[in-house]
Amino acid sequence: MSLKKRKVCFWVLLPSFLVLLACEHPPERGPEPLEGFFEKVTALVTATLRSHLRGDLSKQRLLEERIPSFEKLTHLNQLTTEMKGIESLKDLAYLIEKDVFFELQKPEHNKERDRFNSPEIQRPLILSITSGMKRALDQLRERKDAN
């Protein structure tokens, strides 16, 4: 290869290399994955309730008033039965059940599925759900305040 061809090749490849080098950047990192069953339930309940409560202030107030009594319950069945007994919260009870059972059916939650009715699972589950309720209400309140 002649010296002239080498120089042309060099000057063609150098800009290409520099462009590639300039474009290379580390991938953007998203939020860290959630740790376990209860954290995932909290996140699902938060997202579900936030979307279903948006714009419905009366339902938001009613849910906020009921959370302290919900926190005292010890079993998912108690929580959903109580919510279904309140006409305007009935649809939310079904959605919460769907969220819990959606997460529960995943293979990584075998332990929680096998001991689902035990107090060691039910009590933290109730707290996860009520935490999701509070987060949804807080996020809706923050969005309203920002507008």
Q: In the chain, which stretches have pLDDT less than 70? A: 1-34, 144-147
Cβ burial 19-46 (10 Å sphere, 16+ → b, else e): eeeeeeeeeeeeeeeeeebbebbbbbbb
What pTM was estimated for this model as a whole? Answer: 0.75
Range of the domain at 134: 37-146
Is 41 contained in some domain? yes
Tell me what pLDDT residue 142 has. Answer: 87
Q: In angstroms, rounded to a whole number, what is the distance separating the alpha carbons of residues 6 and 83?
A: 78
Tell me what pLDDT residue 31 has. Answer: 53
Structure tokens that stand for 12 in this block: 């063609």
Is 5 contained in some domain? no
Is 7 contained in some domain? no
**What is the domain count for the chain?**
1
Is 132 contained in some domain? yes
Is 1 contained in some domain? no
Is 136 strand, coil or helix? Answer: helix
Is 13 contained in some domain? no
Tell me what pLDDT residue 143 has. Answer: 77
Taking each helix axis from N to C terminus, what angle separates 57-71 and 76-84, rounded to the nearest 10 degrees?
Answer: 140
Is 46 contained in some domain? yes
Q: What is the CA radius of gyration of the chain?
A: 26
Residues 6+ apart with CB under 8 A from 104: 37, 112, 113, 116
CB burial of residue 14 (10 Å; 0-12, 13-18, 19+): exposed
Is 15 contained in some domain? no
